[in-house]
Amino acid sequence: MIHIAICDDETGAVEKNRAITEGALRRCGTGGKITSYTDSRSLLCDIEEDGFFFDLILLDIEMPGENGMELAERIRPWLPEVRIIFITSHLEYAIDAFSLSIFRYVPKDDLEKRLPAAIEDALRLILLEEGKVYVIRTSNRLEKIPYRDIYYIERDGKNAGIVTGGGVSKVRKSLQQVYEELEAEEFIYIDRGCIANIIHIMQIRDGFAILKNGKALPISRSHLGPVKEELSSYWGRHI
């Protein structure tokens, strides 16, 4: 089940956004639990103090007290993988929102057209990341690593190092062996010694793949063109 929060200081806006979200869930054929807030402090309290988990949060930027921008910044350390959709009347916020890794920005004057598509795109991505795991088996160890947790995989001597938010898991296999076992389009070579997870690539800049966690992975000159094409093609298929 996908967990969604909606936060707007206007009750009417919350109800409207909830109805749009329910429609998006039906069209994507998935279940979801929606929690509504009219006070940003209540949402933050539920996350920081009560450990509430959300896959997707719809945030109004212009709220009294702690606004959406400030709220998103405080939520990130607690829910680093959460998708946030900003809803606002002010176009200038879109630039600031980029630095917070916001999934989508929706203007209020085009809400009914843009918000359903934004929510459906987020839901498809969340569903895409669920369920797949890479299993490391040895004589005394069994480790399951969800694909969505893998940032990249790098050659480490005779091992392959699988890098996640929790650290590095080593498996005594070649990089190519791991790549073939993953058998997933999310993983692409960006260098002879490194495979990156497309889901975590935020942008390509100056010959580097910039990941959600801030890590900058160098892309070899021979791979740069194909990596850009694969990124464009992948998101074209799934978003």
Joined together, the tokens standing for residue 75 give 């939520």
Indicate whether this model's pTM tops 0.95. Answer: no
109-151 tens-digit pLDDT: 889 999 999 999 999 888 877 767 888 887 677 788 889 899 9
Superfamily of domain 133-238: LytTr DNA-binding domain (2.40.50.1020)
| C-alpha 43: how far from chain center | 20
Q: Contact at 8 Å (CB) between 165 and 80?
A: yes
Question: Which of residues 62 and 224 earns the better pLDDT score?
Answer: 224
For residue 144, the model assigns a pLDDT of 82
Question: Which of residues 233 and 155 earns the better pLDDT score?
Answer: 155
Sorted by sequence, the CB contacts under 8 Å of residue 149 that are 6+ apart come out as 164, 165, 166
Rounded average pLDDT over 210-226 = 94
What kind of fold does domain 2-129 have according to CATH? Rossmann fold (3.40.50)
From-to residues of CATH 2.40.50.1020 in the chain: 133-238
| Residue 191 in this model has a pLDDT that exceeds 60 | yes
From-to residues of CATH 3.40.50.2300 in the chain: 2-129
